[in-house]
Amino acid sequence: MKNSIAKLFLISIFSISSMALAQVQRIRTLTLMGSQFEITVVEKDSISAEQAIDKAITEITRIENLISEWRPETPISQVNRNAGIQPVKVDQEVIDLTKMALQFSKLTDGAFDISIVAMDKIWKFDDTMETLPNAEAIQSSIRNVGYQNIEIDSINSTLFLKNKGMKIGFGSIGKGYAADRARTLLKQAGVLGGIINASGDISTWGTQPNGDAWAIGVNNPFRNGKVAAVIQKKTEMSMTTSGNYEKFVEINGKRYSHIINPKTGIPSTGLTSVTIIGPDATTANGFSTSLIVLGKKKGKKLMKQFPEYSYVLITDKGNIIRSLK
C-alpha cells in the first residue's frame, strides 16, 4: 500500500527586503527511504542552513533504519521473518506507529492495512509483470492480509504477526512520519522555517525569507504541468498526496495501479489522486492512502469527521473536488 510519488510544485516567491537580506534559503535534493526527498530550510546564514539540512537527513535515515521492510537488519524485517513463530521486541516508537496504523485500519474498516505488503509477490509494478495474477493466487495472498492478526504487547514492547506468510510495512505512512519528525527536530533546534518534501508528503513551518507563506501546488495528472490547487498558509502545515497515475502496470490495454484494496486484492479505481491538508503529515498520509481505496463517496463521509483536515480529490474522469479551508 505504498504511496505514489506525487509531483507537487513548490512555488517560491522572493522579494528584496531587509528580512530577505537577514536570512538565507538552502535546498538539498537526495534519495532517502528509496524515494526523492527535497529539504528546504531558512536560516540566518548558509552554514547554519546546511547544518540544519544535515540534521534532517540524519533523522530521516534513523527512521528508515527503524521501519524499512526492505533492509534485513531493521526491526520490521525481524518482525516479518518471525511471522507465525514468535514476538519480536521493538522500540516504543515502532509500537506507537503500529498503533496509529491499526487505528486507521479500524477507522476505515480495513481499507487501510499495513499487512497489504504480503501481496508484494502477486502484483509487481517494476515493468516485469506481463500477465494478471490468477484469482487463486490473489485469494491465497489475501489470506496473509489482515490487521486483526497484528498483535501488540505494550508491556513487553513486542510485535507479533500471528500467521506465517504475513508481512507489515509502513510505506503508506512512513514518509509522512519522517517529514513530521524532521520538522519537529529542526523546529526544536530553532530553525526559522522550511519544507520537508518526502516525495510529495510535505511538512512546512515558518515562512520564506521574505516573510511570504510557502505555496504548494497540487499536480493535476490530467493536465501536464498544471496544478489543481495551490495551498498557501502562514501557519504550520502538512500535505500528502496518494495517486495511482505514476506507479502502475498496463496489461491488455488496461491500467492497474499500485494501491491495492486489502479486502479484494485488486488495484483500486475511481480516484486518480487524493491530496490531504492538515496539521501533520503522518495522519494526512493515512487519510490519503485510505481515500484512494474507499473512493469518493465513502472518503468524503470519512473526512467530515475530521474538520481540521481538508482535501483535493481528482477522479478517474478528471473531475476535481475540493474541500479547502
User: Annotated binding site: which residue ranges?
Assistant: 172, 289
Question: Residue ranges for the binding site for Mg(2+)?
Answer: 172, 289
- Cell 540566518, residue? 44
Return d(Cα 224, Cα 154) in angstroms, integer. Answer: 48
Return the HEC string of 64-91: HHHHCCCCCCCHHHHHHHCCCCCCEECC
Spatial separation of the C-alpha atoms in residues 324 and 151, rounded to whole Å: 37
Residue 104's alpha-carbon distances to 193, 271, 281, 301, 313, in angstroms, are: 30, 19, 14, 15, 19
Give the end-to-end CA distance of the chain in Å, rounded to a whole number.
Answer: 28
For residue 209, the one-letter residue type is P
Residue with cell 499536480: 219
What are residue 38's DSSP bridge partners? Answer: 29, 197
Select from 123, 64, 139 the least CA-distant residue to 259: 123
